[in-house]
Chains A and B, each alone.
Chain A
């Protein structure tokens, strides 16, 4: 009964490198959400995806950030040319149905540190 899986759990990058964060939703779930959390802050919505579709990316910076959820494989959040301000915990969550009443289940997160 695997829950939401994320890898890597910790990622260290130097400024200018690329960061790739992966998320496998809970079995049977087809909706994935990505959030960013800074220390002692709440979760900020970034992007909502279904298989092969970006539904809402209103919370994602226009530059350097992209996300995908291919037909096969995990969802990927990609950050190009990372800067120190990208250091944060990135959580993905999955849900099984579209709609405002559905529950999101969170993965363990990826802690990104940019040196």
Chain B
């Protein structure tokens, strides 16, 4: 089945530093979604990207979908302690309605 590789698995940053997580697939994706899960919580939908080369921003968060629709990234500018959590990408391809989740990147922000 489809594989979605997400890196890094963990990222420690000092508050104020930037953070980026990447998702890569060997197949062309229909769309990609990003979720955030706080420790002990549940995944919360952040955004969905559909178009090739799409870039979307939400305050300090920037989401990109690659031109070939095989990779995506989430970038956080000037991290805050409230950004702590695990960020997951979830991708669908072909005619499937079942997203494949990456393993997630756990962000730890040190004050």
Q: Hey, which bits of chain A sit against chain B, CB under 8 A?
A: 33, 35, 40-45, 48, 56, 58-59, 91, 93, 98-109
- The chain B residue sitting closest to A97, CB to CB, is B97
Q: How large is the interface on B (under 10, 10 to 19, 20 to 34, 35 or more residues)?
A: 20 to 34
- B95 interface residue (CB < 8 Å to A): yes
**Are A42 and B45 touching (Cβ within 8 A)?**
no
Assembled-state Cα–Cα distance A108/B44 (Å): 10
**Are A103 and B102 touching (Cβ within 8 A)?**
no
**Are A101 and B101 touching (Cβ within 8 A)?**
no
The SS class assigned to the A binding surface is: loop
Q: Chain B's nearest CB lies how many Å from the CB of A8? A: 14
Partner of A100 from the list B6, B44, B45, B96 (CB cut-off 8 Å) is: B96
- B75 interface residue (CB < 8 Å to A): no
Q: Chain A's nearest CB lies how many Å from the CB of B33? A: 7
**Which A residues lie within 8 Å of B45 (CB)?**
103-106
Q: Say yes or no: A43-B43 contact (C-beta < 8 A), given A48-B98, A100-B96, A101-B48.
A: yes
Assembled-state Cα–Cα distance A103/B49 (Å): 11
Q: Say yes or no: A108-B42 contact (C-beta < 8 A), given A41-B103, A100-B30.
A: yes
Assembled-state Cα–Cα distance A63/B30 (Å): 32
Q: Say yes or no: A106-B96 contact (C-beta < 8 A), given A42-B101, A101-B30.
A: no
**Which B residues lie within 8 Å of A40 (CB)?**
106
Partner of B88 from the list A33, A42, A56, A101 (CB cut-off 8 Å) is: A42
**Are B43 and A100 touching (Cβ within 8 A)?**
no
Q: Chain A's nearest CB lies how many Å from the CB of B32? A: 11
**Are A100 and B33 touching (Cβ within 8 A)?**
no
Known contacts A45-B99, A100-B97; 6 further A-B pairs (Cβ under 8 A): A91-B43, A100-B31, A102-B97, A103-B33, A105-B45, A106-B44
**Are A101 and B104 touching (Cβ within 8 A)?**
no
**Are A42 and B103 touching (Cβ within 8 A)?**
yes
Assembled-state Cα–Cα distance A13/B21 (Å): 37
Q: Chain A's nearest CB lies how many Å from the CB of B14? A: 23
Partner of B97 from the list A41, A91, A99 (CB cut-off 8 Å) is: A99
